Amino acid sequence: MNEFELIARLTKSLPANKSVVSGAGDDCAILDLGMPDILILFKTDAIVEGAHFTKETPPEKIGRKALARCLSDIAAMAGTPTAALVTIALPENFDTDFISKIYDGMNALARKHGVAIVGGETTTNPGRILISIALLGTVPRGKQILRSGAKTGDAIFVTGELGGSLSEKHLDFEPRLGEARWLSEHFSIHAMIDLSDGLAGDLPHILKAGGVGAEILKSAVPVSRAAKLRAKGGSSAKPPFAAALTDGEDFELLFTVAGQDAVKLLDAWKKQFPKLKLSCIGKIVTGEGILIRDKIGSHKLNAHGYVHFA
């Protein structure tokens, strides 16, 4: 049983109540606590030594990353983060300066985005550091963007560039909070997610939630310089396009909008965010799964993100 099968089993019949607008299965949970104009966003995310960072990672960047991942999930709902709690599980002989620097990195990013850190706890975890962030945010009622909602004919957009993030970007990425709010305020965004498991891993969440498929134009996918550089790194390196599809931790926004809004959105984006690339990479189609179209033809992307190149 893999992670997704386990989650499916565990989330099959979770307790609910009348506050729940949207529970497990989106980037954040959405709660209605009775405020006329506001819904609450609620999210947790954990990073673990050995999986998400190493003993060699600068501690400020560990703390920054722990919070940034959660902020990216708030962005994916077009929300605004409010307050975080920090759980840090520590081996017995922890270095207090190292821990303080983890907080320094986290606090700096929190201040940048106006997020309060309102407590948390330290606990024990022999062998490795684990940091779990719980984050509360808000979104204007009706302005939240779910993973579901993609419609046949929608244009598919992605911010920034994809692939190779584990070289460096996974420690330095900017959560797209302002960009997502701007999108929600100015356009009817049908579906949105942040890319944590790669385009090939995360686009299927939008497709399954909407009961639709996607056709991706290979030449339109923005491949990062890091992915291209890594491709030159020897026999174990992925081809750049495969890296753009399957590398994790890009933390860019992937969203869909009605085809007729696509050009207007691109034009407005360039004026609003001239420094951040926005790419229309394909369209939503009937059916299921992802078709990759290139000069020669189209190829079905298989379930594990592996693509048969023409």
Tell me if 10 contacts its own copies by CB under 8 A: yes
Distance CA 158, CA 115 (A): 26
Tell me if 14 contacts its own copies by CB under 8 A: yes
Distance CA 308, CA 299 (A): 7
What's the closest the beta carbon of residue 140 comes to its own copies, in angstroms?
12
Tell me if 233 contacts its own copies by CB under 8 A: no
Based on CB atoms, which residue is closest to its own copies, 9 or 55?
9
Distance CA 247, CA 4 (A): 18
Tell me if 103 contacts its own copies by CB under 8 A: yes
What's the closest the beta carbon of residue 267 comes to its own copies, in angstroms?
35
Distance CA 298, CA 293 (A): 4
Taking CB under 8 A as the binding criterion, the range among 83-91, 222-230, 248-256, 284-292 that sits at the site for its own copies is 83-91
Q: Which of 74, 130, 206, 231 binds its own copies (CB under 8 A)?
A: 130
Q: Which of 111, 225, 270, 300 binds its own copies (CB under 8 A)?
A: 111
Taking CB under 8 A as the binding criterion, the range among 107-115, 179-187, 213-221, 265-273 that sits at the site for its own copies is 107-115
What's the closest the beta carbon of residue 246 comes to its own copies, in angstroms?
19
Tell me if 119 contacts its own copies by CB under 8 A: yes
Tell me if 43 contacts its own copies by CB under 8 A: yes
Based on CB atoms, which residue is closest to its own copies, 118 or 220?
118
Tell me if 125 contacts its own copies by CB under 8 A: yes
∠ CA 139-144-145 to the nearest 5 degrees? 145
Q: Which of 89, 171, 183, 223 binds its own copies (CB under 8 A)?
A: 89
Tell me if 35 contacts its own copies by CB under 8 A: yes
Q: Which of 124, 235, 236, 260 binds its own copies (CB under 8 A)?
A: 124
Tell me if 8 contacts its own copies by CB under 8 A: no
Q: What are the start-end ranges of the E strands in the chain?
A: 20-22, 29-31, 38-48, 80-90, 116-124, 130-140, 155-159, 189-194, 213-217, 253-257, 278-285, 289-293, 298-300
What's the closest the beta carbon of residue 69 comes to its own copies, in angstroms?
11
Based on CB atoms, which residue is closest to its own copies, 41 or 158?
41
What's the closest the beta carbon of residue 119 comes to its own copies, in angstroms?
4
Q: Which residues in this chain contact its own copies in the complex, by CB under 8 A?
A: 1, 3, 6-7, 9-11, 13-17, 19-20, 22-26, 29, 31, 33-35, 38, 40, 42-48, 50-51, 82-83, 85, 87, 89, 96, 99-100, 103, 107, 110-111, 114-128, 130, 132, 134, 136, 138
